[in-house]
Amino acid sequence: MAFWTKDKFLFGLYTFFVLVVVGFALFAPWLAPYDPYDAVMRQSLQAPSAEHIFGTDKLGRDCFSRILYGMRTSLIMTMMVVSIITVGGTFIGVVAGYSGGKVDTVLMRIVDMMLAFPGIVLAIAIAGMLGGNIVNAILALAAVNWTKYARLGRSLTLKLRERDFIAAAVTNGTRPLHLLWRHILPNILPIIVITAAMDIGVMIMELAGLSFLGFGAQPPTPEWGLMLNEGRQHIQTAPWLMLYPGAAILIVVAIFNLWGDSLRDIMDPQRTN
């Protein structure tokens, strides 16, 4: 088998793009030419130029600087959501699958009840009840997206319970906690990581959607969905206010989706090269 395969090349390429995105987010304070919160009313709604390459918004704030800082806001929010749903959902699923019986039944009925509602609609309802801000948007999306990981974790755990090495560990008196930590989690982790990586782009879109509807980031926070909402009032006179944040969402989501696909290609234990 060749060391440098097509799958590995694509994974390396998309990983480079992901690192570039993360780098822009981390170094936004040094890369941004202006303070994203600095309003200069005399420069309101200026078209893209050498001074402001992405133009300015209605308050005269530099759009390029706000998009860079918005990248940081979006990635932080997204990683928090993905971390919560991955860890929490997988834990619930593994406990349900390993315990079985009433514990499994109760936990899975809760999952089924959550899945009975359209996810984004339920997230909007939760964020609306909690109030519009970044923290509540994160909690709302986490509350409706953990179920996928719970079902996946349960399914993988049920399959592993039938394996001979698990039966041997139980026969040898291995404690349940040790069994879960040393034998079950390491075997389901690759698929969980792949799923989490492929969810990053989805969460970026959903968080931007909540902010666009007023249930996420609030002014003057630089966030892509909020910037789209602010720019829609000027779509005919200042189209750059929606063009550049929309392009940023499109590009970053595409990068993370391609990265997740390439990660699946090299980590999926069922894939044959």
State how far the Cα of 47 lies from the Cα of 45, in Å rounded to an integer: 6
Q: What is the pLDDT of residue 188?
A: 87
For residue 6 the two structure tokens come to 């097509």
Q: What is the pTM of this model?
A: 0.89
**3-state DSSP assignment of residue 49:** coil
**3-state DSSP assignment of residue 216:** coil
Domain range summary for the chain, segments of one domain joined by +: 6-27+62-267
Domain covering 6-27+62-267, topology: MetI-like fold (1.10.3720)
Q: What is the pLDDT of residue 8?
A: 84
Which residues, at least 6 apart from 158, have a Cβ–Cβ distance to it below 8 Å? 97
Identify the sign of the CA torsion 183, 12, 223, 33.
positive
Q: What is the pLDDT of residue 21?
A: 95
- Encode pLDDT of 83-104 as tens digits: 999 999 999 998 888 888 888 8
- Sequence letter at residue 135: V
Q: What is the pLDDT of residue 187?
A: 84
Instruction: Report the run of H or E that residue 104 belongs to, with start and end.
Output: helix 101-115
Q: Quick one: 171 exposed, middle or buried, by C-beta within 10 A (0-12, 13-18, 19+)?
A: exposed
Residues of the chain with pLDDT under 50: 1, 269, 272-273
- Encode pLDDT of 247-265 as tens digits: 999 999 999 999 999 998 8
State how far the Cα of 25 lies from the Cα of 178, in Å rounded to an integer: 39
State how far the Cα of 247 lies from the Cα of 23, in Å rounded to an integer: 18
Q: What is the pLDDT of residue 273?
A: 43
State how far the Cα of 16 lies from the Cα of 10, in Å rounded to an integer: 10
**3-state DSSP assignment of residue 62:** strand
